[in-house]
Amino acid sequence: MHTRKNATGWLVPVSLLVLLLVTVGSAVAQVPLNPKTLTKFIDPLPVPGAMPMAGPNHYEIGAWQVQQQLHNQLPPTTVYGYGTSQATASYPGATIVARKGVPISIRWTNHLPATHPLAYAFDPTIPAAQTTTGVPITTHVHGCEVEPQSDGGPMTWFTPGFAETGEDWTKQVLSYPNTQLPATIWYHDHAFGYTRHNVYAGLAGFYVITDPGHEPAGLPAAPYDIGLAIQDRMFLTNGQLWYPNVGVTVTHPIWMPEFFGDVILVNGKVWPYLNVEARKYRFRILEGSNARFYSLALYNRASNARGPAFYQIATDGGYLAAPVVLNNPKSASSPPLLIAPGERAEVIIDFSAYKPGTEFILKNTAKAPYPGGAPVDPATTGQIMMFHVVARTSPDNSVIPATLTTVPQLGPATKTRVMTLNEMAGAGGPIGALLNGMPFDMPETEFPTLGTTEMWEIVNTTADTHPIHLHLVQFQLLNRQKFNTTKYAAAFAAANPVLPATTYVPVAPRPYLKDGVIPPDPNERGWKDTFRMNPGEVTRVMIRFAPQDGSPAFAFDATADPGYVWHCHILEHEENDMMRPYHLVAPAVPVATKQAASHRATPETVIGETALFAPYPNPAQRGSTMRFALRTPGPVDLGLYDVAGHRVRQLARGSFPAGEQALAWDGSDDHGRMVASGVYFLNLRADGVNRTMKMSVMP
């Protein structure tokens, strides 16, 4: 396990700290289920239906807690699901079927109870939305061209009844113009600090954009067009979901660098089977796991021979130029389908050559973490689901087209950016991962100009492959190239001596490059919104900050607040702290003006409410400046606490006027001694509110 995070000033709910103390002990007493006690392939694969509309081109979709039987030999499991009501909510949610050029609106609502079913797995040292009225959610439609206000970014979270909202939340009804090319995208929770647990609990579903009359003709259609959402989980012997609560460092006592379950689910069922007629099928594969990669191939259950082949026709952002053959039983060198968290792949599989009764196992061989981790267990995580061939009930007139679409090549680039993927190591193990050496809450540093094409050279200095996802845009892989990691790391450390950094000094990879460029694999030569960044490689991607279909302008103001984010889609990395904001700007806007206009760049200028701001510097070495603002004059209690909840320093106590206040802290405790390095919490009690923010002290 190689890529994780550091401690920086983020909100942590005091109520959650108390909850942890109450629940961790009882959760530890629970007994994890041995996955080998479950019989495979006894449950039929559920196929999500279409999400019903509440009105013309409008949906009312809520998040609910429900009981759902995930395996025939398990009692019902408490999960989260999306639906139009609690009675219809399911994990995964029903599929939203949209049509290109036809806008829709969705009012997402939150009906979750106050206690999360995975409450024991929350780590108080990891930043999370501060709430007192319930579990927060916000829904991100992953891969969607959408305005910033409707993007479902991490700080647009809200609790039940919209009682509390994140700093970027603006409205209840979100707009989706569906202007992009036809593709299989998906929706999932993205709430700040809750994403890894809310998605794990079930908040995800398919979102399919169609373009009738403008897609390749003759592809398999319903009911032979089926979505497969692949995820891994762990269970307790009582049938409830289990997410381990033992971390690898003192810095983060519960957070684990990646989650790898020992049970595989497809569409919310454990190791299901699907009866397939002897004909062609289209499968829309969604990789929805927290951290696990999959290397997928079909094998005959009786003979263990490979086949049938996958004909990949589409990737994240739509159709490839032509089908790419994978898992070809006629070629020993034919590769499997490698897919990372957040990615999608559409494949056609032709079962017509096989007799009824033939069975195929979809197998996985990807190590965890990928690519240098532990091998899968062939008896558990090495198996995904079974396909059972039955007789064809009607003629199969579908085809595998020789060509699919034209994929325009992006370029030339008007700007090249050097971006880095960094790991933070601590005593006993990794403590976090960063983009450009910076945590999420530092001011924005990327301001792409609307309508331009940029090349991002993403330098992976870690030992993991990271699936990097950009909100708003689809992009294209240009190439990859290996580099001298030791020499580059030394140069980067010289330019950026302290991580996490408050500013980023890019280091060009050119002097450290090795060998020649590595072209994209054939099934990577299309539109993508999530790309695998391999360790020891520079991955070059071309990004056009404009509509995917070539239209001259977005159907919305993409330069509006709150902007967008880019992040690793390993959820444990994303939330600790491998996520950064970026903001599009109109052409000819000076950089200084862009930065001044960014709401993230100057959070302390927000007035009109009582607030606790991020201390600076953070991490602190010999002190820091603490800032807060009061809506009205009144008493203030501001203290610094350790992770056990003990007060270390009383920073302010007394009456203060309305407005912003700044207090200097010299790094000492209440007894005048310099505090030890580690994670601490600022707690502000004023104006009837309670605010908490994390900070770290460096030696």
The pLDDT value given to residue 423: 94
Q: What is the pLDDT of residue 591?
A: 58
First to last CA, the chain: 25
Per DSSP, the three-state class of 593 is helix
| Amino acid 629: pLDDT | 82
Judgement on whether residues 457 and 567 belong to the same structural domain of the protein = yes
Q: For position 631, what pLDDT does the model report?
A: 80
- Does any domain span residue 4? no
- According to the model, what pLDDT value does residue 597 have? 60
Q: For residue 634, what are the β-bridge partners?
A: 656
426 and 560 co-located in one domain:
yes
Give the mean pLDDT of 265-285: 98
Q: Is residue 2 part of a domain?
A: no
What domain range includes position 84? Answer: 14-210
In DSSP terms, 294 is beta-bridged to 339
Percent of the chain with pLDDT strictly greater than 90: 77
With beta carbons less than 8 A apart as the criterion, state whether 105 and 174 touch: yes
Q: Which of 584, 604, 624 is the last residue of a domain?
A: 604
CATH code at position 674: 2.60.40.4070
In a domain, 356, yes or no: yes
Task: Give residue 598's pLDDT band: very low, low, confident or very high (50, 70, 90).
Answer: low
pLDDT score at 25: 38
- Would the pLDDT of 57 be above 70? yes
Choose among 367, 370, 327, 331: nearest CA to 347. 327
Q: Final residue of a domain: which of 185, 210, 235?
A: 210
C-alpha closest to that of 280 among 406, 404, 401: 401
- Closest C-alpha among 358, 306, 366, 360 to residue 334: 306
Least confident of 12-26, 155-169, 316-330, 499-513: 12-26
User: 90 and 39 in one domain?
Assistant: yes
- CA 196 to chain CA mean position, Å: 8
Is residue 219 situated within a structural domain? no
User: Has residue 460 got a pLDDT over 80?
Assistant: yes
Both 337 and 242 in a single domain? yes
- pLDDT at 594 (0 to 100): 60
Q: Is 5 a domain residue?
A: no
Using the 3D structure, point to which of 557, 575, 604 is the last residue of a domain: 604
Shared domain for 554 and 618, answered yes or no, is no
- Domain check: are 548 and 585 in the same one? yes
Q: What is the mean pLDDT of residues 30-46?
A: 96
539 located within any domain: yes
In a domain, 1, yes or no: no
pLDDT in tens, 68-94: 999 999 999 999 999 999 999 999 999
d(CA 456, CA 417): 5
Q: Which residues of 344-377 are buried (b: 16+ CB within 10 A; e: fewer)?
A: bbbbbbbbeebeeebebbbbbebebbbbebeebe
- Tell me what pLDDT residue 626 has: 85
Which band of pLDDT confidence, cut at 50, 70 and 90, is reported for residue 7? very low
Which of the four pLDDT bands, split at 50, 70 and 90, describes residue 427? confident
pLDDT exceeds cutoff 60 at 17: no
**Do 467 and 377 reside in the same domain of the chain?**
no
Return d(Cα 378, Cα 391) in angstroms, integer. 30
For the residues 655-682, what does the mean pLDDT come to? 85
Q: pLDDT band for 21, please (50, 70, 90 cuts).
A: very low
- DSSP assignment of 209-265, as one string? EE-TTSS-TT---TTSEEEEEEEEE-BBTTS-B------SSSSSSS--S----SEEE
Q: Is-contact 381 234, C-beta < 8 A?
A: no
Same domain, 580 and 612: no
In a domain, 401, yes or no: no
Instruction: In whole angstroms, give the CA distance from residue 555 to residue 559.
Output: 12
For residue 385, is pLDDT > 80? yes
As beta bridge partners, residue 383 has 363
Kindly give the pairing relationship between strand 359-364 and strand 318-326: unpaired
Residue spans of beta strands (DSSP E) within 73-203:
77-83, 93-99, 104-110, 139-142, 173-176, 183-189
- CATH number reported for the structural domain that contains residue 102 in this entry: 2.60.40.420
For residue 423, what are the contacts with CB-CB under 8 A and spacing of at least 6? Answer: 2, 3, 4, 430, 432, 433, 434, 461, 462, 463
Pair of tokens at residue 301: 């259950």
User: Residue type for 330, please?
Assistant: K
- Same domain for 251 and 348? yes
Q: Are residues 600 and 611 in the same domain?
A: no
Say what the pLDDT of residue 12 is: 33
User: How far apart are the C-alpha atoms of 507 and 492, rounded to whole Å?
Assistant: 6
Same domain, 477 and 596: yes
Q: How many domains does the chain have?
A: 4
| pLDDT 10s digits, 199-222 | 999 999 999 999 999 999 999 999
Across the chain, mean pLDDT equals: 91
Q: How far is CA 138 from CA 117, 155, 372, in A?
A: 18, 8, 34
Q: 37-51, 549-563, 641-655 — which is least confidently predicted? A: 641-655
Cα within 13 Å of Cα(328), Cβ side: 12
Residue 586: strand, helix, or coil = coil
Average pLDDT (10-18) is: 33
pLDDT in tens, 569-594: 999 999 999 999 999 999 976 655 66
Q: What percent of the chain has pLDDT over 70?
A: 92
Tell me, yes or no, whether 261 and 187 share the same domain. no
The pLDDT of 297-315, averaged and rounded, is 97
